[in-house]
Structure 1
C-alpha cells in the first residue's frame, strides 16, 4: 500500500505495493500497518476502500480467505487494540475470516521487565516517537507465531475443497430457497 502521508521517509521506497490483482490471487493474508491515533493508517483504509468492487461482486472474491493483522504504534497507549478493533470490521465486511493469534505468550505476556506490543488480536511493536525502536525479541516471536499460524490455517482451507467458503455458499443457495 503506498504511503501518501510521509514522503520524506525514503527508507520505504523499496517496499513493494500490492495490486488489486495480487490481492485477489492470495489464499490468505496478514496485513500490517501503523496505527494513527488508535486507528489504522489512512493509506491502508484507502487501499481497502479500493476493494469495494471486490466486496460488491456476486462471488465476493475475498470471502472465506483467512486474514490477520499486525501493527506498530509510536508508544504505549498508542492504540494497538483500538486499531485492531477498527481494522477487523473492514476484513469481515469483505467476507474474510479474521484469524486472531490469541494469548500465545501465556504468563510471559504479563512480565513487566520489557516493553512489548501486540495483543490477542495480532502481533505488534512500539516504534518510538521517531520510529527508531526495533521490534524486541518477544515481539518478533509473536509475529513469527502469527505468520506460521495463519499459514497453517490457510493451507488447511486450501487443501480441503469442502472448506471453500464460496463453494459452501453456492451449495447453500441451491438448497435454501431465495426469497
Structure 2
C-alpha cells in the first residue's frame, strides 16, 4: 500500500483536527493510505522537551517516513505569520535528505490554524512551502473548483486548508473547513498516485 505522510505539530488541537480530515481525504482514494506523524515540542533552553515516545496521539516522525512516503501533507499552527518552532526545527534538520534528494518529485500540501481571522494563515502556508520547494517537492494547492472556498467565512485558502480557532483555541472546524481539508487530502493523494504510477 502506498502512503502519504501527514506530518503536523499541534499545540491546542486545531492542527491535529485538520490533519485528521486531510488523512480522511487521502483514505478516500483507492490504493493509498495516510501515515500520520507529529513532531515534539522544542525549547530554547534544551531543544527537545518531550519524551522519546508521545504519551498520546501519533508517533513522532522518523526520517524513514519521508523516504517511504509518496507525498507529504505538512501542518503547523501560525506563529506571527510563520510556522511554529517545532516544525521549523524538524525541517531545519533535513540536510541529509536534501543532499540525497529524498523528497524530490514528490507532491506536498500544507495546512494551518490561526487564533484570529487575519492572523497570517496565508503567509504561514507560504513559509511552509519554501523548504519543500528547496527539497524539490511539487506543491498541491486547493483550486476554486472546490466551491467551499467561495462559501467559507473562516478558514480555507487556495494555498492550503486552514482553520480559524479564535482566541480560546477552539479545535471545532466549520463545515467548510472540514470539506476543504478532506478535499485537500484527496487531491494530494490523487496527484501522488498518478506521479507514483508514472515513475
How high is the TM-score relative to the length of structure 1? 0.78
Count matched residues.
153
Q: Work out which of the residue numbers 190, 195, 199 in structure 2 matches 1:152.
A: 190
Contact 1:24 1:61 in 2 (8 A): yes
Matches for 1:8-157 after TM superposition, within 5 Å: 13-57=56-100, 60-106=101-147, 108-111=148-151, 115-157=153-195
CA distance in structure 2 between the partners assigned to 1:73 and 1:45 by the alignment: 17
CA distance in structure 2 between the partners assigned to 1:14 and 1:156 by the alignment: 30
Q: Which runs of 5+ in 2 are unaligned?
A: 1-38, 44-48
Q: CA offset at residue 3 of structure 1?
A: 2.4
Q: CA offset at residue 91 of structure 1?
A: 0.5
Relative contact order, higher structure (CA 8 A, sep 6+): 2
- Relative to its length, the structure with more helix (as a share) is 1
Q: CA offset at residue 133 of structure 1?
A: 4.2
CA distance in structure 2 between the partners assigned to 1:137 and 1:3 by the alignment: 30
Q: Which runs of 5+ in 1 are unaligned?
A: 162-179
Q: CA offset at residue 21 of structure 1?
A: 1.1
RMSD: 2.1
- Relative to its length, the structure with more strand (as a share) is 2
Larger radius of gyration: 1
